[in-house]
Amino acid sequence: MNAPLNPRRLSIAPFTQAAARLSGSRSGSEFGRLLPEPEGSQGVGEVFFEAFGELRPNAKGAMSPWIRLEAHTTLPMVCQRCLEPVDVEIAVSREFRFVATEAQAELEDDQSEEDVLVSAPDFDLLALVEDELLMALPPSPKHQQCPHRVKLAVADKDFVVTDEVVNPFAVLGQLKTPKG
């Protein structure tokens, strides 16, 4: 592969046949869905990625195109414990098998353990990087150690606590009326 590789328009077949490697970094601003949650935060830093193409034999013995993708970045998020900004490191390492058509991908994706994608002459590798980083986001980002002590209790000044505890069965007993 003599021509420079464009991760926005990657031709899967030649890339995997040449066992090529594509690596680089892009500004986080190119990944709109990864934009930070907290207002006024620094934004997404660099997104680093690396893709390795190869051909592997499939169940029928024919060679199938595969890409191994690795990517990582640091995202500013909101700590769910203290509600302060926290930088979360996100990293992914995944492998994908490529097939010729969308129908074949749907059929084989249900029947196989690996992820199956459709091969294209202009595959957007950076969109795949963004998808994988989004799926790797933690559901509840937190600091290892919050910078401030977190108040774990609340009190409502208008709430009145009575010391009297009423037994619910005693109330039910009062509802019984003697038959007579």
For Cα atoms 53, 57, 62, give the angle at the middle one, nearest 5 degrees.
Answer: 110
Taking the C-alpha atoms of residue 84 and residue 121, their distance in angstroms, rounded to an integer, is: 44
Residue with the bigger pLDDT between 154 and 108: it is: 108
Q: What is the pTM of this model?
A: 0.76
pLDDT of residue 41: 53
Q: How confident is the model at residue 10 (pLDDT cuts 50, 70, 90)?
A: very high
Angle (nearest 5°) at CA 111 between 105 and 113: 95
Other CB atoms within 10 A of residue 55 CB: 15
